[in-house]
Structure 1
Amino acid sequence: MLKQHRELSMSIRRTIENNEEAGIRPSKTYQSFVAATGGHRELNFIEKDVKNYITREVRNVSEQEDAKEFGKSRAAFEYFGDVISFDTTYNTNRYNLVCGSFVGVNHHGQSTLLGCSLMKNEEIESFKWLFQ
């Protein structure tokens, strides 16, 4: 099959994403499509397309989401407006930095990380600076 005739439909992409999230290997995902359609010839893509989609789209998005998460959290905070807690956990790393997390609740009742900090000390001035 020529490359220009191969494509992954939106439903195929969604299934690939769900299977990747569930830990199902690309080859098993492809084999499930083959079994569902009755053979390789019935599909308009090959196993390599599934692997490429995972590499280019699914894994790339997960890496980018780490950096974007605080932007989404900030938007959620602006929309919902309430911070539920600020928690400091003592000496969680070898550098003796205090990790503080701002956690809110979204409209689904799920905890959402709004932000976090690493502080060298727990003086009142440090907390004032952080909350601003």
Structure 2
Amino acid sequence: MLKQHRELSMSIRRTIENNEEAGIRLSKTYQSFVAAAGGHRELNFIEKDDQSIKLAFWADARSRAAFECFRDVISFDTTYNTNRYNLVCGSFVGVNHHGQSTLLGCSLMKNEEIESFKWLFQCWLRCMGGNAPKGFLTD
């Protein structure tokens, strides 16, 4: 059961996510895996291995530099469940002096609750030095 040998398959991850959405606690889900496998020793993961992403944000140095130059109007757009993990992908986009779209950051979110967006926008503003864009568009 060394950490490097433990893994969660995609089907197990989906079951955990579906059960979580249905309100079934992780400990109960894990116990169902134990029962189905015939014991703890038959599983190649342990209960604490579930590391579901709830919110993630990314912006690199190039994105922050571009924001300093092109922060007149920023667009935030989300696409719905476009990946196999059912995470909502969001992107912060500005327009450079050539009229081209410039990626200023992106996010992954498990849900679209108000608190998730509050966290995301606050995180993005902190990352951009606390400087708000001059205009902001959302879909």
Per the normalisation by structure 1, the TM-score is 0.45
Question: Given that residues 83 and 102 in structure 1 are in contact (C-alpha distance below 8 angstroms), is that contact kept between their aligned partners in structure 2?
Answer: no
Deviation for aligned residue 1:81: 1.9
Deviation for aligned residue 1:130: 0.3
Higher helix share: 1
Using the alignment, how far apart are the partners of 1:88 and 1:96 within structure 2?
A: 13
Question: Given that residues 34 and 40 in structure 1 are in contact (C-alpha distance below 8 angstroms), is that contact kept between their aligned partners in structure 2?
Answer: yes
Aligned-residue Cα RMSD (Å) equals 14.3
Q: 2:81 aligns with which of 80, 91, 100?
A: 91
Higher strand share: 2
Higher mean alpha-carbon deviation, 113-122 vs 7-16, is at: 7-16
Structure (1 or 2) with the larger CA radius of gyration: 1
TM-aligned CA distance change 1:19 to 1:105, over 3 Å: farther
Deviation for aligned residue 1:84: 2.8
Deviations 1:72-99 (A, max 9, x none): 1211101222343100000111110000
TM-aligned CA distance change 1:104 to 1:49, over 3 Å: same
Deviation for aligned residue 1:25: 55
Question: Given that residues 85 and 102 in structure 1 are in contact (C-alpha distance below 8 angstroms), is that contact kept between their aligned partners in structure 2?
Answer: yes
Structure 1: unaligned runs, 5 residues or longer = 53-70
Deviation for aligned residue 1:36: 71
- The answer to which structure, 1 or 2, has the higher relative contact order (CA under 8 A, 6+ apart) is 2
How many residues are paired up?
114
Structure 2: unaligned runs, 5 residues or longer = 53-60, 123-139
Per the normalisation by structure 2, the TM-score is 0.43
Structure-2 residue corresponding to 1:67: none
Structure-2 residue corresponding to 1:60: none
Q: Report percent identity of matched pairs.
A: 92
Higher mean alpha-carbon deviation, 110-119 vs 79-88, is at: 79-88
